[in-house]
């Protein structure tokens, strides 16, 4: 990561300011959420939706932030303008609980807000990534706060990445608790077989992303239907092309699945081109 700035308590700070105390509820019990938006080429596509989801995630976790989605968005854009210097940026609104014990104090004053902006590379076009099946799984929604982008969910993502990298792969596939394909560890999964495009149905075991929804809509507008359904692991192994959507890289091709080499396919190319065209023409700007 490159340069970073953080807004907290009415001021911007450079670097990595100390923010949390040992008696804060989130330090002890882990009540914290974040979201992520991208800024590149002066564009901030769907940053408003990412900021709104951050506020929604805080409420899912039992916090009640006083900041509105509009206020969060304004700070994200302000931070991006302050830091912009040609490098792609990552915009990270974050909420954490200061009061409470086993669950957070619901008072708005007990929910602390940060806006973090840092430089983060985003190759264009993306080089693609390798993947494999992870032994880790996404949880049953009755066992974890899966409707929030909660920091507490990310250790499993980290374990999945570490296992995959130890075996020579990049972004692994995780199944859900029932044994069906959920997503890649760090992004949502799409596959193409015999011209049909599919993605795992949003079944509350994983975060059905904002970029995922955007790409599904853009493809539909151009005559390409995406079927949201239950997908088995064997279908991934047999797919003609596989790609991912997510805020970090937007739309990126999978170029190796287990021992199969894959090429970026026509549906992936169309999906990425449509997304970038939409971002240039209709996305938020600084």
pLDDT in tens, 131-152: 999 999 999 999 999 999 999 9
pLDDT per residue as tens digits for the range 225-235: 999 999 999 99
Q: Supply the mean pLDDT for the chain.
A: 97
Helices (H), 9-150: 25-29, 47-60, 69-83
Asked if pLDDT for residue 124 goes beyond 90, the answer is no
Contact 172, 160 (CB under 8 A): yes
Asked if pLDDT for residue 1 goes beyond 90, the answer is no
Q: Tell me which DSSP letter residue 242 carries.
A: E
What's the pTM value of the predicted model, to 2 decimals?
0.96
- Does the N-terminal peptide bond of residue 152 adopt cis geometry, omega within 30 degrees of 0? no
User: Which structural domains are found in the chain, ordered by start?
Assistant: 4-119 (3.30.470.10), 129-282 (3.20.10.10)
- In what helix (H) or strand (E) does residue 198 lie, and over which residues does it extend? strand 196-200
Task: Work out the percent of the chain whose per-residue pLDDT is above 70.
Answer: 100
pLDDT at position 86 is: 86
CB count within 10 Å of CB 26 equals 24
Asked if pLDDT for residue 67 goes beyond 80, the answer is yes
Q: Rounded CA gap, 120 and 126, in Å?
A: 14
> Which among 103, 76, 172, 179 is positioned nearest to 132, based on CA atoms?
172
Helices (H), 13-67: 25-29, 47-60
CB count within 10 Å of CB 21 equals 9
């Amino acid at each position: 990561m490159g340069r970073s700035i953080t807004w907290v308590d009415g001021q911007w700070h450079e670097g990595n300011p100390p923010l949390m105390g040992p008696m804060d509820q989130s330090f002890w019990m882990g009540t914290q959420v974040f979201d992520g938006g991208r800024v590149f080429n002066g564009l901030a596509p769907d940053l408003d939706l990412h900021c709104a989801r951050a506020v929604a995630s805080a409420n899912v976790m039992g916090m009640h932030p006083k900041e509105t989605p509009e206020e969060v968005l304004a700070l994200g854009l302000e931070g991006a303008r302050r830091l912009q210097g040609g490098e792609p940026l990552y915009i990270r609104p974050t909420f954490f609980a200061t009061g409470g014990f086993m669950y957070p104090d619901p008072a708005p004053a007990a929910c602390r807000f940060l806006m973090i902006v840092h430089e983060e590379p985003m190759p264009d076009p993306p080089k693609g990534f390798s993947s494999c099946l992870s032994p880790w799984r996404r949880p049953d929604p009755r066992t974890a706060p899966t409707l929030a982008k909660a920091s507490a969910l990310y250790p499993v993502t980290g374990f999945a990445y570490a296992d995959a990298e130890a075996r020579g792969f990049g972004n692994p596939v995780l199944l859900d608790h029932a044994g069906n394909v959920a997503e890649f560890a760090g992004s949502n999964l799409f596959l193409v077989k015999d011209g049909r495009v599919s993605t795992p149905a949003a079944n509350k075991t994983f975060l059905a992303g904002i970029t995922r929804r955007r790409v599904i809509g853009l493809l539909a507008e151009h005559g390409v239907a995406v079927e949201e359904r239950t997908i088995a692991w064997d279908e991934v192994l047999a797919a003609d092309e596989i790609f991912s959507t997510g805020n970090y890289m937007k739309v990126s091709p999978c170029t190796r699945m287990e021992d199969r080499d894959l090429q970026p396919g026509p549906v992936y190319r169309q999906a990425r081109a449509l997304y970038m065209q939409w971002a240039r023409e209709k996305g938020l700007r600084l």
